[in-house]
Amino acid sequence: MIRKVSALLCLVVLASMAALAGDIPFSGSGSSGTVNPGQPFSYNFDGAVFEPDWGIPGVNNGLAVWSGPTIDQFTITFNLAAGIAIDPLNLGTTCNGGPFGGTAFCASPYSQPWNVTTLTADSITFTALPGGDLLINGDPFFVNIFFTGGDPNGASFSGDWVTPVPEPSGFVLFGSGIVALAGVFRRKLLL
């Protein structure tokens, strides 16, 4: 009996640790392809109607469907040639997408784009608003990024999808449950 309970507790702890495991790294290059965990990307899918661009699934290419755990942050860094940069003046303020919607990350139900929390010439981080539209498995979404100073078509890039950090109350609740289970089983052993 004690072995079964111990094994069960170990499985619960391991499952919890796996659920807390964070980032999904990705990288890519070329004009199109897929990035971990299987999301399609494309440079200039719209023919660079407005500005040279990169997107998932591609600017003006509709929506991608997320195939991973819940995400609340997305960071990407490009290896850009001199003079080319992410356009800091073309940040989207709505989730209408397309070639004229601006640089944006939008997840269903598209109430508003995720915040741009870090922006440099070659890197951008989008973060979901507190209580906002997290990216959840099966959700349709899109990412559009526009460039200035030239066309980066095919430039290599790398980044991370980041899972939400659990609230401290979740850890307290989980710990309380483990302590309660241990107490119940200890009491049964003493009887």
For residue 38, what is the domain's CATH number?
A: 2.60.40
Residue type (1 letter), 9 = L
What is the pLDDT, as a whole number, of residue 174? 52
What is the pLDDT, as a whole number, of residue 181? 54
Strands 73-78 and 64-65: unpaired
Contact present, 51 and 120 (Cβ < 8 Å): no
Mean pLDDT of the chain: 85
Alpha-carbon gap, residue 99 to 59, rounded angstroms = 6
pTM over 0.95: no
- 57 inside domain: yes
For residue 145, give every residue at least 6 positions away whose Cβ sits within 8 Å of its Cβ, in sequence order, or none.
Answer: 53, 54, 55, 76, 86, 103, 124
What is the pLDDT, as a whole number, of residue 53? 97
For residue 38, give every residue at least 6 positions away whose Cβ sits within 8 Å of its Cβ, in sequence order, or none.
Answer: 67
Phi, psi of 6 (to 5 degrees): -60, -45
- 175 inside domain: no
What is the pLDDT, as a whole number, of residue 171? 44
For residue 22, give every residue at least 6 positions away whose Cβ sits within 8 Å of its Cβ, in sequence order, or none.
Answer: 162, 163, 165
Extract the tokens encoding 171: 């850890």
- 186 inside domain: no
For residue 116, give every residue at least 6 positions away whose Cβ sits within 8 Å of its Cβ, in sequence order, or none.
Answer: 91, 103, 124, 125, 126
- 184 inside domain: no
N residues, the chain: 191
- 148 inside domain: yes
- 157 inside domain: yes
Contact present, 76 and 159 (Cβ < 8 Å): yes
Q: Identify the domain containing residue 136 by its residue range.
A: 26-165
What is the pLDDT, as a whole number, of residue 91? 96
How many structural domains are present in the chain? 1
Element containing residue 6 per DSSP (H, E): helix 2-20
Distance in angstroms between the alpha carbons of the first and the last residue of the chain: 14
Q: Which residues of the chain, if any, have pLDDT below 70?
A: 1-22, 166-191
What is the pLDDT, as a whole number, of residue 172? 46
Our CA dihedral for 59, 85, 126, 74, rounded to 10 degrees, sits at 80
What is the pLDDT, as a whole number, of residue 50? 87
Residue type (1 letter), 8 = L
What is the pLDDT, as a whole number, of residue 48? 86
- 72 inside domain: yes
- 53 inside domain: yes
